[in-house]
Structure 1
Amino acid sequence: MDPKTSAHLDTFAREHLPPPDQWPELLFELPELHYPVRLNCAAELLDRTIDRFGADRPAFRTPDGGVWSYGELRDRVDRIARVLTTDLGVVPGNRVLLRGPTTPHLAACWLAVLKAGAIAVTVLAQQRPAELATICSIARVGHALCDVRTVDDLVAAEVPGLRITVYGGGGPDDLLSLAGARPGPYRAVDTAADDVALIAFTSGTTGRPKGCMHFHRDVLAVADTFSRHVLRPTPEDVFTGSPPLGFTFGLGGLVIFPLRAGASALLLERSGPTQLLPALAAHHVSVLFTAPTAYRLMLDHVDEHDLRALRRCVSAGENLPVATWRSWYERTGLRIINGIGATELLHIFVSAADDAIRPGTTGIPVPGWRARVQDREGRPVPDGESGLLAVRGPVGCRYLADGRQRDYVAHGWNITGDTYVRDADGYFRYVARADDMIISSGYNIAGPEVEDALLRHPSVAEAAVVGRADEVRGHVVVAYVVLREGADVSADALRTFMKGELAPHKCPRVIEFLPALPRTATGKLQRFRLRDA
Structure 2
Amino acid sequence: MRHYEDNFAHDHLPHPSLQAECFTDHPDFEFPEDLNCVERLLDRHIAEGNGDRIAIRTFEGSWTFHELYEKANQIAHVLKDNLDFVPGNRVMIRSANNPMYVACWFGILKAGGIVVATMPLLREKELSVMVECAEISHAFCDFTLEEAMLAVSSPFLKHIVTFDGSGQHVSKLETLMGNKPKTFGNHPTKADSLSIIGFTSGTTGKPKMTSHYHKDILLICEAFPKYSLQPTPDDIFTGSPPLGFTFGLGGLVLFPFYYGASTFLIEKPSPDLLLKAIAEHKVTICFTAPTAWRVLTTKVKDFDISSLRKCVSAGETLPVKVWEEWYEATGLKIIDGIGSTEILHIFISSNEENMRKGATGLPIRGYEARIVDNKGNEITDGTPGRLAVRGITGCKYLNSPDKQKEYVENGWNITGDIFRKDEDGYFWFVARGDDMIISSGYNIAAIEVESVLLTHDDIIECAVVGLPDENRGMLVCAYLVLKDKEKASDELTKQIQDWFKNIAAPYKYPREIRYMDALPKTETGKIQRFKLKNTVQA
Q: TM-score range by the shorter chain?
A: over 0.9
Aligned equivalent of 1:334 = 332
Give the Cα separation in 2 of the matches to 1:495 and 1:184.
Answer: 65
Give the Cα separation in 1 of the matches to 2:403 and 2:155.
Answer: 26
Instruction: Give CA deviations for 1:283-305 in whole Å, capped at 9, x if unaligned.
Output: 21111010000001122111011
Preserved CA contact (<8 Å) 1:7 1:189: no
The counterpart of 1:38, out of the listed 25, 34, 37, is: 34
Give the Cα separation in 1 of the matches to 2:521 and 2:469.
Answer: 26
What amino acid is aligned across from residue 68 of structure 1 in structure 2? W
The counterpart of 1:23, out of the listed 19, 44, 48, is: 19
In the TM superposition, 1:475-486 aligns within 5 A as 475-485=474-484
* 2:140 counterpart SS class: strand
Aligned equivalent of 2:408 = 409
**Farther-moved stretch of structure 1 (223-232 vs 144-153):** 223-232
Preserved CA contact (<8 Å) 2:164 2:170: no
**Farther-moved stretch of structure 1 (458-467 vs 346-355):** 458-467
Give the Cα separation in 2 of the matches to 1:94 and 1:461.
Answer: 45
User: Is 1:125 aligned to 2:120, yes or no?
Assistant: yes
What amino acid is aligned across from residue 160 of structure 1 in structure 2? P
- Shift of the alpha carbon at 1:487? 8.2
Aligned equivalent of 1:457 = 456
The counterpart of 1:12, out of the listed 8, 12, 36, is: 8
**Farther-moved stretch of structure 1 (203-212 vs 318-327):** 203-212
- Shift of the alpha carbon at 1:275? 2.4
Aligned equivalent of 2:509 = 507
Aligned equivalent of 2:470 = 471
User: Is 1:71 aligned to 2:73, yes or no?
Assistant: no
Aligned equivalent of 2:321 = 323
Aligned equivalent of 2:301 = 303
User: Is 1:167 aligned to 2:152, yes or no?
Assistant: no
- Shift of the alpha carbon at 1:532? 1.8
Give the Cα separation in 1 of the matches to 2:28 and 2:381.
Answer: 31
The counterpart of 1:100, out of the listed 95, 98, 111, is: 95
Aligned equivalent of 1:82 = 77
Aligned equivalent of 1:532 = 534
Give the Cα separation in 2 of the matches to 1:488 and 1:299.
Answer: 23
Instruction: Give CA deviations for 1:219-271 in whole Å, capped at 9, x if unaligned.
Output: 00111111122221111111111110111100111110100010001110011
Query: Percent identity of the aligned residues?
Result: 47
Q: Which runs of 5+ in 2 are unaligned?
A: none
Give the Cα separation in 1 of the matches to 2:379 and 2:161.
Answer: 52
Preserved CA contact (<8 Å) 2:418 2:433: yes
What amino acid is aligned across from residue 14 of structure 2 in structure 1? P
Give the Cα separation in 1 of the matches to 2:502 and 2:262.
Answer: 47
Q: Which runs of 5+ in 1 are unaligned?
A: none
Aligned equivalent of 2:194 = 196
In the TM superposition, 1:189-268 aligns within 5 A as 189-268=187-266
What amino acid is aligned across from residue 339 of structure 1 in structure 2? G
Give the Cα separation in 1 of the matches to 2:208 and 2:200.
Answer: 5
Aligned equivalent of 2:493 = 491
Give the Cα separation in 2 of the matches to 1:123 and 1:328.
Answer: 31
Aligned equivalent of 1:142 = 137
Structure 1 residues 223 and 280, CA, compared in 2 at 3 Å: closer, same or farther? Answer: same
Aligned equivalent of 1:430 = 429
- Shift of the alpha carbon at 1:110? 0.4
Give the Cα separation in 1 of the matches to 2:511 and 2:156.
Answer: 54
Give the Cα separation in 2 of the matches to 1:168 and 1:530.
Answer: 37
Give the Cα separation in 1 of the matches to 2:398 and 2:48.
Answer: 36
Preserved CA contact (<8 Å) 1:340 1:351: yes
* 1:516 counterpart SS class: coil
Preserved CA contact (<8 Å) 1:79 1:186: yes
Aligned length: 528
Structure 1 residues 516 and 63, CA, compared in 2 at 3 Å: closer, same or farther? Answer: same
Aligned equivalent of 1:269 = 267
- Shift of the alpha carbon at 1:486? 7.5
**Farther-moved stretch of structure 1 (400-409 vs 227-236):** 227-236
Structure 1 residues 61 and 7, CA, compared in 2 at 3 Å: closer, same or farther? Answer: farther
Give the Cα separation in 2 of the matches to 1:333 and 1:474.
Answer: 45
Give the Cα separation in 2 of the matches to 1:247 and 1:359.
Answer: 26
What amino acid is aligned across from residue 513 of structure 2 in structure 1? I
Give the Cα separation in 1 of the matches to 2:297 and 2:170.
Answer: 47
Give the Cα separation in 1 of the matches to 2:477 and 2:272.
Answer: 29
- Shift of the alpha carbon at 1:53? 6.2
Moved over 6 A (4+): 169-173
Cα root mean square deviation, aligned? 1.5
Give the Cα separation in 2 of the matches to 1:463 and 1:313.
Answer: 23
The counterpart of 2:44, out of the listed 27, 39, 48, is: 48
Give the Cα separation in 2 of the matches to 1:481 and 1:384.
Answer: 31
Preserved CA contact (<8 Å) 1:119 1:198: yes
Aligned equivalent of 1:352 = 350
What amino acid is aligned across from residue 59 of structure 2 in structure 1? P
User: Is 1:374 aligned to 2:369, yes or no?
Assistant: no
What amino acid is aligned across from residue 66 of structure 2 in structure 1? G
* 1:274 counterpart SS class: helix
Give the Cα separation in 1 of the matches to 2:256 and 2:420.
Answer: 32
Preserved CA contact (<8 Å) 1:295 1:328: yes
